[in-house]
Amino acid sequence: MKIGLLFGSFNPIHIGHLIIANYMANYTTLDKVWLVVSPQNPLKKYGDLINTYDRLEMAKLATDNSTNIAVSDVELKLPQPSYTIDTLTHLKEKYSEHEFALIMGSDNLVTLHKWKNYKLILRDYQIFVYPRPGYENAEFASHPSVTITMTPLMELSATFIRKSIAEKKNVQYFVPDPVLKFIESKSLYRV
């Protein structure tokens, strides 16, 4: 089975994440997509990242009825900080029967050269790239391991959702209903 890995903080998970995962699972050569909940991106500041297990639970709630999108907590069990190459190596050893590929936005493709062992990633893994506004041309876009997809362009961000919740604005339809209920039940993202 060919599994695409979509890494993220999912702080919170929203319909943009789900549209990307659904597109990759149904319109590419991938059989399944795993949403890999990351404890902390080494290239990002900690900021207003909520409890990892709340983010994991929201991702599970969002994908509960999906047949080809699953949630992975693999990075929560690995040493920190979590680097993509280490996670890929671990998964390759643990699930040798599967082939793994990366899913990333064109914004991440632009910074791929800053990733730990990025040359190994390019050599050993296929990378499926979805468009992000303002990041059309990337250095590795024409690399043989990189597939630029026609995933619907999503300008929705978790930052926008967190800010909206803090301002007591309605975020219905931006996040799945079970996720919204979870956020409200725990008063997450309120200032």
pLDDT in tens, 45-83: 556 789 999 999 999 999 999 999 999 999 999 988 889
- Per-residue model confidence (pLDDT) at position 47: 61
Mean pLDDT to the nearest integer, 80-95: 93
Mean pLDDT to the nearest integer, 111-138: 92
DSSP, collapsed to helix, strand or coil, labels residue 174 as coil
Cα 191 to Cα 189: distance, rounded to the nearest angstrom: 6
- Per-residue model confidence (pLDDT) at position 115: 95
**Those residues with Cβ within 8 angstroms of residue 121's Cβ, 6 or more apart along the chain or in another chain:** 84, 85, 88, 102, 112, 115, 127
Mean pLDDT to the nearest integer, 104-113: 93
Q: What band does 16 get if pLDDT is binned at 50, 70 and 90?
A: very high
- Per-residue model confidence (pLDDT) at position 41: 59
DSSP, collapsed to helix, strand or coil, labels residue 93 as helix
Q: pTM, whole model, 2 decimals?
A: 0.93
Mean pLDDT of the chain: 93
Mean pLDDT to the nearest integer, 180-187: 97
Q: What band does 42 get if pLDDT is binned at 50, 70 and 90?
A: low
